[in-house]
Chain A
Amino acid sequence: MDASSRLTKAARVRHPHKEATQVDLQTVARADELASVLEFLCRAMEDRSVDRVIACIHPLNDDATKFRDPAAPSLDKSYRESTDGVLVSSMTGPCCQAVATRQTAVVPDLAADPKWAKFREFADPLGIRSAWSTPIFSNEGKILGIFAHYYFEVRDPSPRDKRMVQLLSRAAAVAIERGRVEEALRELNETLEQRVQAETWERLQIWSISQDLLVISDLDGTFVSVNPAWTAMLGWSEAALVGKSAQSFVHPDDWETTRTELDHLATGRKTPRFENRLLAKNGSYHWISWNAAPDNGRIYGMGRDITDRKRGEEKLRHVIDTMPTLAWCNLPNGTNEFLNKNWHEYTGLSPEESHGWGWQTAFHPEDLPHLMEKWKAMLVSGEPDEIEARLRRNDGVYRWFLIRAEPFRDESGEILCWYGTSTDIDDRKLAEEKLRRSEAFLAEGQRLSLTGSFSWKMATGEITWSEQLYRLYEFEIGLPVTPELIRTRVHPEDHTVLEKMVEQARNGENDFEWHYRLLMPDKSVKYLHAVAHARRDQNSQLEYIALIQDVTQRRASEEALVKARSELAQVARVTTLTTLTASIAHEVNQPLSGIVTNASTCLRMLSSDPPNIEGARETARRTIRDGNRASDVITRLRTLFSKKEATFELLDLNDALREVIALCRGELQRNRIILRAELAADLPRVRGDRVQLQQVILNLLRNGAESMHGLEDRAGELLISTSHEAPDSVLVSVKDAGVGFDSDALDKLFEPFYTSKADGMGIGLSISRSIIEGHYGRLWAVGNDGPGATFCFSIPCISKSSSSSGDNVRTDAA
């Protein structure tokens, strides 16, 4: 559009000339748009002006650096477009200058000043020759915009126009300010709306993606809104839920509780958590834990699936109840919260009777004070502990229990509760009691009997001594015991005995005993008798338990006794001998003296004159008679020696031998004689008098032992053996390492009254021989290759194939 047409348009729009002294501010106030207000003001200016003028209003932005949204009703939109956004600093036109100077800028002749050249590019085509701009101020003096006027000729603004502008500027200021406010509000609204939208969207997200059930319902439990979790968890579609009552979905057993909660909520009370079961589409139930709050006629609820936890709890409850112990849970204040089924069944107390402090009644009144003291101390210290107390069983019997408790803390370390168990230890307590008592007895017994004990674990070499053993050895109680330490006390002569004992132990022999002496620091000697027994401990390790008794006193007594006995025996022997002698003398002398007297008489009678033949005959008769008498006496004496009659039976010589060995083992050991037995297996049985044969064996053993009495350079070893050498007889040998015999002595050995022993009567061997001969056997002695002699006897045996008849034996013997 050319300039004239632009102008024309503007002119056409021009209102009829009006006298206006006041612009209707109300109109301004009511007007909605800033732009229309400002256009109105421009037209008002143009209309009221006498001259031909074009008015425009250029609002500024907030910090007065830029023009925007111009109002120029008489110019077409190209003008508005080119001026919108012009920077003040560009100083394109008088408007800029007005802003910069905060004063009206008048340019009567645009062409006059070259700085308006740019402005003239616009102005010239329109025929605008002069311009003037007036700043529009707010009440506070802030510059809000510019009122611009353009003339078509070179001129100054008329005073009338100036006055008009002042008037209109106020209105413009109000409008612009209001415009700004509205803009700000609009912006604010927009921002707010955006914000709300964003938040709404976020909330929607939460609503949608929450795995927990979110629900909005009516106060009676009718579902109004449900989130997608309902579908995901329970399988119901939204449509199936919305508008339905919660009752349709809550487990019948839980509806009462749920109903109650809903009622609470309906009254406006916020409810603490409650749980119920919801039905899933597939028929199963889920345990849900609910948080709900009422608000303005609605209930807002959030439900968490605790099915797993519930199942876990159930399992745990089941475990706790079936645990073979009494278990419980107490609160930090000491009262009881939960007791497991076993507890109730055992005590017979119901949960109501035992919760809180009720459980105290189950304990023995004597133990309760101590128990409470300890419990209170634990609550304070927070440390796990245990205590023993008697708990009453449902039948009234009190039994000892071990009560243990441990605190359970949350993440911050606060104690939430105490978990505890009560275990029946009554049997253990009884056993402990018995053990304590028996230990006391044992210790006392050991002390009184001067018996000590030790245990020796073979695998580890660990040696443990009882207190009494330390006293026996006169070591400080508790000193670590080593074989070296023991050796310092054992009598030097008995070190071999000690070593032999150790060897027996290493070989794992079951039971063995030994005698040995201790040489004490004060040079006194103690005699000890030890018995050891092998056992396996709980790890199947070999362990020896030994008892060692101080038998010094006993030995002294025994030795005194032995001495007395032997003296007595001696006396007895002497007495016997004396008696025997007297008996012999009397028995034999009578006939003898008769013989002598009669013989003398006979001689005299024969030599008398005349000879007394008759008398001589008589005396001779008497002599013969007396001679016979004497012979009878001898015979009787012999019978006297062989004592009682023998009773024959079938017997195992090994058995008989073992009995004898058992009998005299102690005695042999005391004399430090080492007895070895090599008994043939499968020894055939013999026919004989058990007691008599044992007497023979005993005699041989004793002889052998005595022959080794006082040996110093070698061990006093006695070897007894049985063998089945010949097909029809068994051989028993007793070999010693003693002084032995020279060859001519060997012959005389078995003669009665022969003895090489100072105190021996020498009857033993002769009697032994007669016994053996009574068994159709032989008894003899040979000297050894080494030191000592071997005494042997053989007697007929029962061969395995033959029957055990007496005739057979005789045939064999023969």
Chain B
Amino acid sequence: MDSGREDADRDRALVAVVDDDESVRESLPDLLTELGYRTRAFSSAEEFLLSGSLEQTRCLILDVVMPCMTGLDLQRQLNDRERRIPIIFITAQKDREIQDRALLQGAVSFLLKPFSDTALLEALNKAVQD
């Protein structure tokens, strides 16, 4: 692929951020924009599902612990709908079991907060390439 198309892809790629934490919804999209992505933030999994942005979402940055539908639930939902959106999980808790499940259910990456921008970039590249 040439870099132009990559850039174009990247320009059009929508990265959705789903986190009930406001500071994340505040800070992460800016970082993503600096990284060259289009981004949209949602405060809950339900909001994301109802948003209609599913088609366009090239990557999902997803919190684990959320009220009502958790990140894993959303992951399952998408799997059931056969929506193969690459997911990067972000969480404050280091829980081996959750991590394993998430990865088993097809997550691309599992990041612990706070994460560096380098780590995020790596995960994004992996997600988008797939």
Contact = CB atoms under 8 A, between A and B. Distances in A.
A592 B26 CA distance: 13
B116 A593 contact: no
A589 B114 contact: yes
B30 interface: yes
B108 to A, nearest CB: 19
Contacts of A594: 23-24, 26-27
Interface string A596-630: 11101101110010001001001100100010000
B34 A605 contact: yes
A630 B26 CA distance: 17
A586 interface: yes
Contacts of B35: 604
Contacts of A591: 23
Count chain A CB atoms within 10 A of each CB in B23, B113, B115 and give the residue with the most. B23
Contacts of A597: 24, 27-28, 30-31, 114, 117
Contact of A595 (B30, B34, B93, B114): B114
Count chain A CB atoms within 10 A of each CB in B24, B114, B120 and give the residue with the most. B114
Given A615-B30, A622-B26, A626-B23, A590 B116 contact: no
Contacts of B28: 597
Interface residues of A, number: 25
Contacts of A595: 114
A485 B104 CA distance: 72
Secondary structure at chain A's binding surface: helix, strand, loop or mixed?
Answer: helix
Contacts of A590: 21, 23-24, 92, 113
Contacts of A582: 93
Contacts of A604: 31, 34-35, 117
A608 B65 CA distance: 34
Contacts of A626: 23
Count chain B CB atoms within 10 A of each CB in A582, A585, A594, A626 and give the residue with the most. A594
Interface string B15-50: 000000101101110110011000000000000000
B19 to A, nearest CB: 10
Contacts of B21: 590
A601 B28 CA distance: 8
A585 B92 contact: yes
Contacts of B65: 586
A598 B93 CA distance: 20
Given A594-B24, A600-B116, A604-B117, A585 B30 contact: no
Given A594-B24, A597-B24, A604-B35, A589 B30 contact: no
A601 B114 contact: no
Nearest to A592: B114
A346 to B, nearest CB: 92
B15 to A, nearest CB: 14
A327 B35 CA distance: 125
Count chain B CB atoms within 10 A of each CB in A589, A593, A615, A618 and give the residue with the most. A593
A593 B30 contact: no
Contact of A598 (B27, B92, B115, B120): B27
Contact of B30 (A586, A596, A619): A619
Contacts of B31: 597, 600-601, 604
Interface in B110-124: 113-117, 120
Interface string A52-95: 00000000000000000000000000000000000000000000
Contact of B113 (A593, A601, A608, A618): A593
A591 B21 CA distance: 10
B25 to A, nearest CB: 10
B34 A608 contact: yes
A654 B87 CA distance: 65
B90 to A, nearest CB: 8
A111 B6 CA distance: 233
B34 A601 contact: yes
A663 to B, nearest CB: 40
A673 B21 CA distance: 53
Contact of A593 (B34, B92, B93): B92
B82 to A, nearest CB: 32
Contacts of A596: 113-116
Interface in A553-594: 582, 585-586, 589-594
A278 B51 CA distance: 145
B75 to A, nearest CB: 21
A601 B35 CA distance: 9
A593 B115 contact: yes
18 contacts: A590-B92, A590-B113, A591-B23, A593-B24, A593-B27, A593-B92, A593-B113, A594-B26, A596-B113, A598-B30, A601-B27, A601-B31, A605-B30, A608-B34, A615-B30, A615-B34, A622-B26, A622-B27
Closest 6 CB pairs of A and B: A600-B117, A594-B23, A593-B114, A593-B113, A596-B114, A597-B27
Interface of A: 582, 585-586, 589-598, 600-601, 603-605, 608, 612, 615, 618-619, 622, 626
Given A593-B23, A593-B24, A622-B23, 16 more contacts: A585-B93, A586-B92, A589-B113, A590-B23, A591-B23, A593-B27, A593-B92, A593-B114, A594-B26, A596-B116, A597-B24, A600-B31, A601-B34, A605-B34, A608-B34, A612-B34
